[in-house]
Structure 1
Amino acid sequence: MSEAVREAPKKERPEFRNIHVTELSNYRMPLASIVSILHRISGVGMFLLLPFVLYLLQNSLRSEISFAYYEGFVTYPLVKVIILGLSWSFLHHMIAGIRHLVMDLHIGLDKHSARKSSATVLIISLVLTALIALKLFGVF
């Protein structure tokens, strides 16, 4: 009887290791995790740029002269890029937040729906940001 137990084939157990920093380029994250990480980054970006936006708003509302000055200030390309980044940050954070609220209602929790909704969040936020960029840089 003991020989029968010894002769049973052993299954090779999978070996799970922690991912090292050098292996990060080989690791492929799911789309839902990318959207989640971008949601956090966009929230931090909006928080950090809030003083800049409030400063522009406060100074532009002082008088007509200060409004004209800051209207000229916003025409600089670097400032336009910052405004575009803030616009993407707001749009992505809002759309991903709506996705999370829908998921809190237990809608779209399965793998296929989560992939579709995360792809939809990325597509909508990038398309709306591209439209804002076209308007901001004077294409139409």
Structure 2
Amino acid sequence: MKKQRPVNLQINTISFPPAAITSILHRITGVALFFALMFVIGAWAISVSSAEGFDYIKDQMAGPLGKFIAIGTISALTYHILGGLRHMMMDMGHWEELESGDLSAKAIIGLWIILTIVVGVVLW
């Protein structure tokens, strides 16, 4: 018996469906939130240590790097919540078909992009 399976080990040529992309992004944003939590806890610890520490963190968060970190953290949190809600809906038996699953995945990605732009405009 010949095993003639297609072998494709080039990741850049693999085409993922929208549902797979949303699932992978949900995991990535979960990891990003874990690392962002280190910045949040560190900034909080410095800001409550003294009045000078509070002023330092306030100045850092008003700068471009602080705004970039804040927008990135809020963006990751927004996507993780949207993706989590989508997964919860699927656990309840909705959006499990191929068409509705792809449509919900595209809607989540689109809504996430729009909300990230809105957050970026408001914070910048």
Q: Same fold (TM over 0.5)?
A: yes
Partner of residue 18, structure 1: 7
Q: CA RMSD in A?
A: 1.9
Greater RCO (Cα-Cα under 8 Å, separation 6 or more): 2
Long gaps (5+) in structure 1? 1-14
Structure 1 residues 45-56: aligned runs within 5 Å: 45-56=32-43
When Rg is computed on C-alpha atoms for both structures, the one with the higher figure is: 1
Partner-residue secondary structure (3-state), 2:7: coil
Q: Which portions of structure 1, spanning 4 or more consecutive aligned residues, are displaced by more than 4 angstroms?
A: none
Structure 1 residues 66-105: aligned runs within 5 Å: 66-105=53-92
For normalisation by structure 1, the TM-score amounts to 0.79
1:104 shift after superposition: 0.3
CA displacement 1:26-76 (0-9 Å, x = unmatched): 321101111111101000000112111111122223444432221111122
Long gaps (5+) in structure 2? none
| Alpha-carbon distance in structure 2 between the residues aligned to 1:109 and 1:67 | 48
Question: Which of 107, 116, 120 is matched with 2:103 structurally?
Answer: 116
Aligned residues: 123
Partner-residue secondary structure (3-state), 1:74: helix
| Alpha-carbon distance in structure 2 between the residues aligned to 1:106 and 1:99 | 11
For normalisation by structure 2, the TM-score amounts to 0.89
Please identify which structure carries the higher helix content. Answer: 2
